[in-house]
Amino acid sequence: MMSNTSLIQLSLSQASQALRQGETSSVALTEAVLSQISQADGRLQAFLHVSAEQALAQATSADQARQAGGTHHPLLGIPLAIKDILCLQGMPATAGSRILQGYRPVYDATAVTRLRQAGAVFVGKTNTDEFAMGSSTENSAYQVTRNPHDLERVPGGSSGGSAVAVAAHMAFGALGTDTGGSVRQPASLCGVVGFKPSYGRVSRWGVIAFASSLDQVGPIGRTVDDVALLFSTIAGHDPLDSTTAPNPVPDFTHGVSALPDLTGVRVGVPRQYFIEGIQPEVEAAVRRAIEHMRALGATLVDVDLPHTEYALPTYYIIAPAEASANLARYDGVRFGSRQAETDLWALYEQSRGLGFGAEVKRRIMLGTYTLSAGYYDAYYLKAQQVRTLIKRDFEQAFQQVDVMACPTAPTTAFKLGSKTNDPLQMYLEDIFTLPASLAGVPAISLPCETDSQGLPIGLQLIGSAFGEARLLPIAKTFELTYQN
Ligand code: GLN
- Does 182 sit in the ligand 1 pocket, CB within 6 Å? yes
> What is the Cα–Cα distance from 423 to 420, expressed in whole angstroms?
7
> What is the Cα–Cα distance from 300 to 406, expressed in whole angstroms?
12
Q: Is the pLDDT of residue 334 over 90?
A: no
Q: Where are the domains of the chain?
A: 4-234, 266-312+379-481
Give DSSP secondary structure letters for 329-354: G-SSSSSS----TT-HHHHHHHHHHH
- Does 96 sit in the ligand 1 pocket, CB within 6 Å? no
Distance from the CA of 182 to the center of ligand 1, in angstroms?
A: 6
**Whether the bond into 158 is cis, omega within 30 of 0:** yes
> Which residues are known to be catalytic?
83, 158, 182
What's the average model confidence in pLDDT over 36-59?
Answer: 98
* Closest atom, ligand 1, to C-alpha of 316: 10
What number of residues does the chain have? 484
Each residue of 143-199: pLDDT tens digit?
Answer: 999 999 999 999 999 999 999 999 999 999 999 999 999 999 999 999 999 999 999
- Does 134 sit in the ligand 1 pocket, CB within 6 Å? yes
Please give the share of the chain, as a percent, with pLDDT higher than 70: 100
- Domains 4-234 and 266-312+379-481 fall in the same CATH topology: yes
pLDDT at 455: 98
- Does 214 sit in the ligand 1 pocket, CB within 6 Å? no
- Does 179 sit in the ligand 1 pocket, CB within 6 Å? yes
- Does 359 sit in the ligand 1 pocket, CB within 6 Å? no
Which residues have CB under 8 Å from 420's CB, separation 6+? 136, 138, 426
Q: Among 127, 130, 133, 445, say which to mutate for ligand 1: greatest number of ligand atoms within 8 Å of CB.
A: 133
Q: Is the pLDDT of residue 484 over 80?
A: no
DSSP code for 446: E
- Does 185 sit in the ligand 1 pocket, CB within 6 Å? no
Q: In terms of pLDDT, which residue wins out, 275 or 216?
A: 216
pTM of the predicted model as reported, rounded to 2 decimal places: 0.98
Distance from the CA of 181 to the center of ligand 1, in angstroms?
A: 6
pLDDT at 425: 93
Distance from the CA of 136 to the center of ligand 1, in angstroms?
A: 9
Distance from the CA of 286 to the center of ligand 1, in angstroms?
A: 23
Half-sphere exposure at residue 426, Cβ-oriented, CA atoms within 13 angstroms? 24
pLDDT at 148: 98
* Rounded-to-10 torsion of CA 451, 276, 273, 407: 10
* Closest atom, ligand 1, to C-alpha of 134: 4
Tell me the CA distances in angstroms from 197 to 152, 172, 184, 461, one per residue in order.
31, 19, 11, 12
Q: Give the chain's mean pLDDT.
A: 97
> What is the Cα–Cα distance from 293 to 287, expressed in whole angstroms?
10
Tell me the CA distances in angstroms from 323 to 130, 198, 227, 367, 434, one per residue in order.
12, 20, 28, 7, 16
What's the average model confidence in pLDDT over 104-113?
Answer: 97
- Does 357 sit in the ligand 1 pocket, CB within 6 Å? no
pLDDT at 342: 83
Distance from the CA of 324 to the center of ligand 1, in angstroms?
A: 14
- Does domain 266-312+379-481 fall under CATH 3.90.1300.10? My reply is yes
pLDDT confidence bin for 451, thresholds 50/70/90: very high
> What is the Cα–Cα distance from 99 to 374, expressed in whole angstroms?
31
Distance from the CA of 179 to the center of ligand 1, in angstroms?
A: 6
- Does 319 sit in the ligand 1 pocket, CB within 6 Å? yes
Each residue of 379-415: pLDDT tens digit?
Answer: 999 999 999 999 999 999 999 999 999 999 999 999 9
Q: Is the pLDDT of residue 340 over 80?
A: no
> What is the Cα–Cα distance from 287 to 260, expressed in whole angstroms?
22
Is-contact 262 290, C-beta < 8 A?
Answer: no
* Closest atom, ligand 1, to C-alpha of 177: 9
> What is the Cα–Cα distance from 8 to 422, expressed in whole angstroms?
38
- Does 156 sit in the ligand 1 pocket, CB within 6 Å? no
Is-contact 221 230, C-beta < 8 A?
Answer: yes
Tell me the CA distances in angstroms from 44 to 97, 411, 426, one per residue in order.
19, 21, 21
> What is the Cα–Cα distance from 328 to 315, expressed in whole angstroms?
20
> What is the Cα–Cα distance from 312 to 431, expressed in whole angstroms?
6
pLDDT at 10: 97
What's the average model confidence in pLDDT over 51-80?
Answer: 97
Q: Is the pLDDT of residue 335 over 90?
A: no
Please give the share of the chain, as a percent, with pLDDT higher than 90: 95
pLDDT at 66: 97
Classify the phi-psi angles of 444: left when phi > 0, otherwise alpha if psi is within -120 to 50, otherwise beta: beta
pLDDT at 373: 86
Tell me the CA distances in angstroms from 219 to 25, 119, 184, 193, 385, one per residue in order.
23, 17, 9, 8, 30
AA letter at 226:
D
Classify the phi-psi angles of 169: left when phi > 0, otherwise alpha if psi is within -120 to 50, otherwise beta: left
pLDDT at 240: 98
pLDDT at 32: 98
Number of neighbouring beta carbons within 10 Å of residue 213: 16
- Does 403 sit in the ligand 1 pocket, CB within 6 Å? no
Give the strand pairing for 299-303 and 266-270.
parallel
* Rounded-to-10 torsion of CA 81, 409, 244, 218: -10
* Closest atom, ligand 1, to C-alpha of 315: 10
Distance from the CA of 180 to the center of ligand 1, in angstroms?
A: 5
- Does 147 sit in the ligand 1 pocket, CB within 6 Å? no
Which residues have CB under 8 Å from 68's CB, separation 6+? none
Q: 4-234 falls under which CATH superfamily?
A: Amidase signature (AS) domain (3.90.1300.10)
Which residues have CB under 8 Å from 390's CB, separation 6+? 305, 307, 308, 310, 311, 314, 435, 438, 439
Q: Is the pLDDT of residue 446 over 70?
A: yes
What's the average model confidence in pLDDT over 429-456?
Answer: 97
Is-contact 411 282, C-beta < 8 A?
Answer: yes
Number of neighbouring beta carbons within 10 Å of residue 199: 24
* Closest atom, ligand 1, to C-alpha of 210: 9
* Closest atom, ligand 1, to C-alpha of 211: 9
- Does 160 sit in the ligand 1 pocket, CB within 6 Å? no
Is-contact 157 191, C-beta < 8 A?
Answer: no
Distance from the CA of 282 to the center of ligand 1, in angstroms?
A: 21
Is-contact 116 108, C-beta < 8 A?
Answer: yes
Distance from the CA of 135 to the center of ligand 1, in angstroms?
A: 6
The residue whose C-alpha atom lies closest to atom 5 belonging to ligand 1 is: 180
* Closest atom, ligand 1, to C-alpha of 179: 8
